[in-house]
Amino acid sequence: MSQRPDSAPTRRKLIVVSNRGPVSYARGADGARTASRGGGGLVTALRPLVSHHDVTWIASAISEEDRRVAARAVDETGRDGATYRLRLVAHEEHAYRLFYDVVANPMLWFVHHGLWNLPYTPDLDRAFDLAWADGYAEVNAGFAAAVIAELEAAPDAAVFFHDYHLYLAPRLVREQCPEATLMHFVHVPWPQPDYWGVCPERVRRAIHDGLIANDLIGFQTDRWRRNFVYSAREFLGEDVTPKTVVAPISVDPSEFEEMARSEPVLAAEREIVLRRPEKLIVRVDRTDPSKNIVRGFRAFELFLEGHPELAGRIGMLALLNPSRQEVPEYAEYLEVIEHEARRVNERFREGDWTPIELQVGDDFPKSVAAYKQFDVLLVNAIFDGMNLVAKEAPLVNARNGAVVLSENAGAHEELADWAVSVNPFDVAGQADALDQALQIPEVERRRRLEAIREHVREHDIGAWIDLQLAALDRVAAPVRR
Amino acid sequence: MSQRPDSAPTRRKLIVVSNRGPVSYARGADGARTASRGGGGLVTALRPLVSHHDVTWIASAISEEDRRVAARAVDETGRDGATYRLRLVAHEEHAYRLFYDVVANPMLWFVHHGLWNLPYTPDLDRAFDLAWADGYAEVNAGFAAAVIAELEAAPDAAVFFHDYHLYLAPRLVREQCPEATLMHFVHVPWPQPDYWGVCPERVRRAIHDGLIANDLIGFQTDRWRRNFVYSAREFLGEDVTPKTVVAPISVDPSEFEEMARSEPVLAAEREIVLRRPEKLIVRVDRTDPSKNIVRGFRAFELFLEGHPELAGRIGMLALLNPSRQEVPEYAEYLEVIEHEARRVNERFREGDWTPIELQVGDDFPKSVAAYKQFDVLLVNAIFDGMNLVAKEAPLVNARNGAVVLSENAGAHEELADWAVSVNPFDVAGQADALDQALQIPEVERRRRLEAIREHVREHDIGAWIDLQLAALDRVAAPVRR
C-alpha cells in the first residue's frame, strides 16, 4: 500500500464481518493446526485493514478445523506481521448450505448481475422459501449474534459488514444494540427496482430494510448507489433517506509492482513471450456468466473475419479461473466457453497459429504475466461491481496496452476517459472496439495507460478504506457521540 | 362502448399510425377483392376511434393484395358502419422482414418484457446493425413519409402513433413538420434504464429521441410512465421533460356482454360445463414467454401437492393462442409448455380426471366461454403492458370467480384492490394465491368482481381515447394554437 504520511488514519477498533475469512485452518499429518490464506478478491481487498486498525474479523467457519477453532476468537497475523483477532462462526451445516448454495449463489448473485433467464428462472418454490428462512436468515442471525457478543466487549468498535451474504445481519444487530456504529459495503452492482422484483416482496423488503439499519452503506460507483436509493424508496417508502457513500474498491499497487518482478511471474512471462503472436489480446476472469466470456470470443471472431491480414499475427489469451462448478448455470457456461473457443479456432486456425488460447485454471503468477504482455485488455462484463482486472493489469503492463472496458463494469465510472468503452451485448461493437484499440497511436496509448496508473495509485485500497471511515465519522458522529 | 352523452368527444381529424392495420385484403377465386379483419389486441382497441373521429389510418401493407391497394388511400367501413380512410404503406419486403423479424420481434419486444437470457442473448452482431439501419429505420422512414404526405393535405390533423414498431417515425415527421401535433401510445411495459442498456447506445438514444419528438406520450400505467421519464433523462440528459399521460387501455364492455350471449360462446360454454370439474382455474394467453405459462403450471402442481383432497375436483383450463412460432424462443417456449403440462398431468392424473387441460389454438368464443366459467382466473405475466384478459374475463364471469394477478401486469395498477396479487417468479407464492383465491367467501368474491366490472365499465376503451385527446389538447394547444 502506498504511504500517505500526511493522511495516516487514526488506529481504531473495527469489527469486520464477511462470509469468507482471511484464513482457513486445516490439521496437518502431524496433528498440528495450519492456516492457509482464504481466497477471493474481497478478502484480499480487506487485508490491509488489519495493518492500520485494531481489527476483530468475524467470518464463517468453512473447514472442519475452522469449526473447531470457532469456539473462541483467536489471534492471527496478517501479511505484514500485523495482528488481529479472528472469530469464526460455526453455522449449522445444513443452514449454511441453504444460505450459500441456494440464496447467496445463485439467487442473489444472479439478481445483482442481471443473469436470470426470466421466462424460466428463477423458479422460486417451497425449497427457496425454506432456504430463505432456515438458511439465509439463520446464518445472518448467527453472524449477528457474534457481532453482538463482540460489541458487548467493545461497544465503541465500528462494525463493517461486507457484501450480499449479510443483508439481514445489520437490522438484527441494530435491534439489540441501538447505539452501535454499523456500516456495510456492497461489492456487487445494485439492480434497479424492477429487477429486484425477481425477489418476492418479503425478500426484497427484508434485504433493503436490513441494509438501511446501517449508519452508512458503501457502493463501488455512484450508479450503483443511485440504484440503491431508488430501490430502497420503492420498497420501503419515499421518506427513506439512507446514508450512502461511493468508495470504489481498489488494489495495493506496490503489491502488483513487486509481484511483476517476482520469479514465478517472470517465468510465466518468458513462456508467454516465447509463444505470443505479434499482437496479444488478454482477458483474465472467473468463469462466471457475468463476465461475458462467450460474447468476447464471438467479438474476436468478428474481428478476425474483418482482418484476414492479421491471421497468424494476433491472438487472444483467455486465462479463466473455474468458478462455482456445482451450480448448473456455471457448469453449462464453462461448457459453452470451451465450445465457442473450439469453434472459433477451428474456423480460423492456420499452421501452428491458434487464434484463442484458452487456459482454465487458477494461476495468479500467469495472470500477472499476461497483464504485463497485453496489447489489448478485454473487460466486457455484463455487469460487474468494480472489476479489479481493469485496475491491476494496467499497473504492470509493459507494452503500452489499451483497455477495452464494458460500460457496465464499475471501473468504467473511473476509467472511461482512458479506455475504449463497449456495450457488453453488442458483439459487433466489441469487434470494432478491438480494432479501434489496436489503432490507437503508441504515444496516446502510453498517455492513457499512465493516466490509469496514476489514478489507481492515487485511489488505492488504502484510500478506499480511509474514504469510508471518514464518511462514517461524518454520518455516525453527530447522531451518537 | 358505453354512452357518455355528457362528455361526447368533439369529432376531430386523426391520423392513426400502427404497424398492423384494421383490415387486410385478399383476392378471392372470382378475382374480387375481399377485406378481412386484422388481428391483434391493438387494432381491436383502436377500432372505436373510427366511430367518433375523422380517421385516416396508416398501416403496413402485409398481403400481396395490400401492396396493390397501397398505391393510394381507400375508404373503409368500421364495424358499426362508420367510415374511415386507410392508407397502406408498401415497404420494401426485405426491409420489412428485418424491421419485423429482427428488430421489433424479438429484440424490442424482449427488451420491453425483460425476456433476454443476458449471459447468452441478445447476441448483437453485424446482422443486427444492418437490421436496425436497413430495416427498422427504413420502415420508420416509410411510415414518416406517409404521415408527412397526409399532413400536407390536412395539416391540422393530430397524428396518433402506436407502439414499439414506430419509435423513429415521430422525429422524422417533426423534422419536416415542426408544427404538427404528434402523440404516441406505448402499449408495452417501459423498462428501467439499466435494462435499456441491452441496446447499444446509438439504438437506445434513437428510440428515446424519437419518442420525445411527440407532443405527448401515453403509457398504460404510472409505473411505465415513470420508467420512461427516468430512462429518457438517463439517455438524453437531465433537462429532458417529456410530456406524458397515463391512459390504461381497456375494452368495450358492451361488446363482451353481447358476445357472452352469442351462440358460438354459448355452444363452447355448454361443452366446458359438460366437462368441467367442481372448481375451474382458467388462463387465456398467447404462447409468449412474457405470459409465464410454465410457472403457472408449476404453481398448480404445488397447489395439487398440498391439496390431495381436491384430486378430481379441480382443474386448470389453459387456452393458449400460438404466437410467433418462427422465432426460436417462442417455438421452444411452446414445447416447454406442452412438456410441463404433460408432466404435471402424468404425475396427478386419476381415472378420467386430467388436472391441466391445455388447448393450443385460436378460438375466441371458447375464450369468452372460459371467462364465464372460471372460479379462479390466473394472470401471472412476467411483465405485461396491460393484460386485457384481466379486464375482459371478470366482465362476463358467471361464477363470482376470483382474479389472481401478477404485480408486473399493467392491470395491477388499477385492479390490485380486488385481486390476489402474485409475484410472477414466486411459484410457491402463486400456489398459495390459488389457495387463497379459492378460500375467499362468496359474498366477498362477488363484491370484488362487481368492483372490477364497475371500474372497467367506467374506464372503457372510449374513456382511454378521450383521456388522451384531452391531455393532447392541454399540452399541444398552448404551444401551437
Nearest-CB residue to A128 (from B201, B227, B428): B428
pLDDT digits (tens, 9 = 90+) for A26-72: 998 898 998 887 666 777 778 778 888 999 999 999 999 999 988 78
Secondary structure of residue A378 in the 3-state scheme: strand
The residues near B69 (Cβ < 8 Å, ≥ 6 apart) are B25, B33, B61, B86, B88
Closest CA to A213 of A248, A165, A181: A181
| Residue B289 to residue A200, Cβ atoms within 8 A | no
Secondary structure of residue B149 in the 3-state scheme: helix
Distances (CA, A) of B400 to B153, B273, B366, B450, B453: 52, 16, 19, 9, 11
| Residue B197 to residue A126, Cβ atoms within 8 A | no
Considering only CB atoms, which chain B residues are within 8 Å of A295? Answer: 123
Q: In the predicted model, what is the mean pLDDT of residues B172-185?
A: 97
| Residue B423 to residue A193, Cβ atoms within 8 A | no
A-chain residue closest to B291, CA distance: A119
> Between A and B, how many residue pairs show a Cβ–Cβ distance under 8 A?
111
Strand segments, DSSP code E, in B94-215 are 158-162, 181-186
Distances (CA, A) of A426 to A419, A436, B125: 17, 15, 7
d(Cα B280, Cα B277) in Å, to the nearest integer? 6
What cell was used for A113? 448481475
Strand segments, DSSP code E, in B8-120 are 13-17, 23-27, 33-37, 54-60, 74-77, 83-89
Check if the beta carbon of residue B337 is closer than 8 Å to that of residue B326.
no
Burial of B306 (0-12, 13-18, 19+ CB in 10 A): middle
Residues on A contacting B at a C-beta cutoff of 8 Å: 114-115, 117-120, 122-126, 128-129, 191-195, 197-201, 227, 289-290, 292, 294-295, 298, 302, 329, 333, 336, 382, 407-408, 423, 425-429
Q: Is the pLDDT of residue B481 over 50?
A: no
**Nearest CA to CA, how far is A122 from chain B (Å)?**
6
pLDDT digits (tens, 9 = 90+) for B419-448: 999 999 999 999 999 999 999 999 999 999
The phi, psi pair for B357, rounded to 5°, reads -100, 110
pLDDT at position B175 = 98
Q: Helix B427-439 and helix B293-306: axis angle, to 10°? A: 60
**Nearest CA to CA, how far is A97 from chain B (Å)?**
21
Question: Rounded to 10 degrees, what is the CA torsion of B209, B212, B218, B222?
Answer: 80
A-chain residue closest to B340, CA distance: A120
Considering only CB atoms, which chain A residues are within 8 Å of B425? Answer: 118, 122-124, 197-200
Question: Rounded to 10 degrees, what is the CA torsion of A141, A146, A147, A148?
Answer: 90
pLDDT digits (tens, 9 = 90+) for A171-188: 999 999 999 999 999 999
Distances (CA, A) of B372 to A336, A404, A413, B401: 48, 59, 56, 9
d(Cα B130, Cα A305) in Å, to the nearest integer? 17
Q: What is the DSSP letter of A430?
A: H
Nearest-CB residue to B124 (from A120, A128, A426): A426
What cell was used for A173? 444487530
The residues near A235 (Cβ < 8 Å, ≥ 6 apart) are A193, A196, A201, A204, A205, A208
**Residues facing B315 on adjacent strands:** B280
Q: How many CB atoms lie under 10 A from the CB of residue A391?
A: 26
Nearest-CB residue to A429 (from B200, B292, B428): B200
Q: Is the pLDDT of residue A2 over 60?
A: no
Q: Is the pLDDT of residue B87 over 80?
A: yes
d(Cα A188, Cα A413) in Å, to the nearest integer? 14
Q: Comparing B478 with A311, which gets the higher pLDDT? A: A311
pLDDT digits (tens, 9 = 90+) for A374-412: 999 999 999 999 999 999 999 999 999 999 999 999 999
Per the listing, cell 408432466 goes with: B343
Nearest-CB residue to B198 (from A119, A425, A427): A425
pLDDT at position A72 = 83
pLDDT band at A79 (very low <50, low <70, confident <90, very high): confident
* ipTM for the complex shown: 0.95
Q: Is the pLDDT of residue B143 over 70?
A: yes
pLDDT band at A9 (very low <50, low <70, confident <90, very high): low
| Residue A200 to residue B425, Cβ atoms within 8 A | yes
Percentage with pLDDT > 90 across chain B: 88
d(Cα A9, Cα A7) in Å, to the nearest integer? 6
The phi, psi pair for B118, rounded to 5°, reads -55, -30
pTM given for the model: 0.96
Q: In the predicted model, what is the mean pLDDT of residues B383-390?
A: 98
